[in-house]
A = this chain, B = another copy of it.
Amino acid sequence: MMLEEITSERLGERYYRYTHSSGVTVLLYPMKGYSTVTAQFSVKFGSVDNCAIVNGGKPWHIPDGTAHYLEHKLFESPEKEAFARFAETGASCNAGTSYDSTRYYFSCSANFEKNLEILLDFVQHPYFTPENVEKERGIITQEITMYLDSPAWRVCMELYRGMFADNPVRNDIAGSAESIALITDKLLYDVYDAFYEPSNMYLCIAGGFDMESAIEVCERCLLPGKSMNTVSILPEEPARVITPRVQMSMPLGKTNFALGFKSPAYSGRQMTEEYIYQTLMNDTTVGAATDFYRSMRDSGLINETFESSIMMGRGFFVPAIFGESDDPDRAAEAVRAEYRRRKTEPPTREAFLRAKKYLYGDNIRTFNNVESVAQNLSDAALTGTSAFDYAELAAAADYEGMLQRIENFDEGNCCLSVITPSEE
């Protein structure tokens, strides 16, 4: 077993990585003085993975929502289900499925080794039966329905549908009532075998734990797996948005909007780097400290809900603006005009430096929280980067680099998603 040390001189931080004989990547980040530990066991398998080639066969189409359904059912066991086992040790545990990954995790301040055993045990031992899979269908249908009540979620879902022709981010992570009707115990086993193979999995542990004990549990409990040479196939996606505007209505106090810009997708360190530059550009162009923001607020065209963010993952990168406005089209046009104006009247170097300082500070702060560190480790592992790349790239970001991104930003390749209040 070869333990590799990853250090950051800049941060005065370090963690350890090794590849278990099974193929699972193990990342260990001991944090002195903390009594809590978080462990995340992650799989590079999310809702966008709805088409795959297994062992060189034909493309296999997987119903939307399968990754999320599998996540729900993995907690089952012929004996005691995982939640009940964690309840006995006092750990809090949960799981989540995103567009491009599935994560299982616990936090505890005692019985760490026992909890780690439970985590590794239940994730590596699927137990799907026709009955327990059937039982879940109503529960997941409800979960899908509940999300439909959230304007923040829907304005974003509709935005993706307006932007993307074929990219599976168009589909709800949990799927639809129609797609999950196709899910069976047999399918879940097939999908588990195809995607939950050790080399596609990452175990990240952060906090106050003993390295040797953690490694001992990994050596004992991580099981060898069989590779099916699974290749996830993302469809080709046209460069332009498919429509400039989508609209719907639902119960709501004020009109919600999301303005998304369709950008090429990135991977690895480049995704982190582009995320950083895009954030700096947003902060200095439409951020809360800009004159643009203040004049928009004063004019009443936007309110304090206005914010920019970047949604990204395997196969997509979407800088977006969210807010409420009585005239979302005018607000969106003002935002686009401001991005255009900045090409000839760029933000000052001082504004850039201030934004960079905040961005860097925000990242540094995450290293003082056990759960954030575990999250950073998983994010990094899943994208093939290091947990310190963000800080390094943020420190290295320069004014000229930002100006170049502003120059190249295609503010016309966008879609406006609007949700108006429904009539009573």
* A interface list, Cβ under 8 A from B: 31-36, 83, 87-88, 90-91, 107-110, 135, 138-139, 141-143, 145-146, 148-149, 151, 250-254, 288, 303-305, 358, 361-362, 364-365, 367-368, 370, 422, 424
Evaluate contact between B251 and A32: CB separation under 8 angstroms.
yes
CA distance in complex: A135, B90 (Å):
10
Residue among B109, B110, B151, B358 making CB contact with A304, cutoff 8 Å: B358
> CB-CB < 8 A to A365: which residues of B?
253-254, 305
The 8 A-B residue pairs with the shortest CB-CB distance in the complex, in nearest-first order: A90-B139, A33-B251, A109-B145, A90-B142, A109-B142, A36-B149, A109-B146, A253-B368
Copies of this chain, count:
2
Contact B303 A145 (CB under 8 A): no
Residue of B nearest to A88 (CB): B135
Instruction: Tell me, in angstroms, the Cα distance from A146 to B106 when the chains sit together.
Output: 13
Instruction: Indicate which residue in B31, B145, B151 contacts A110 across the interface (CB closer than 8 Å).
Output: B145
CA distance A370 to B361 in the complex (A): 35
Contacts of A303 on B, CB cut-off 8 Å?
358, 361
The answer to whether B146 touches A107, judged by C-beta atoms less than 8 angstroms apart, is yes
Bound CA–CA A368/B252 (angstroms): 6
CA distance A36 to B146 in the complex (A): 6
Name which residue of chain B comes closest to A298, CB basis: B354
Minimum distance in angstroms from A60 CB to a CB of chain B: 29
Chain B residues in 8 Å Cβ range of A109: 142-143, 145-146, 149
Q: How far is the CA of A169 from the CA of B107 in the complex (A)?
A: 26
A31's contact among B138, B251, B362, by CB below 8 Å, is which? B251
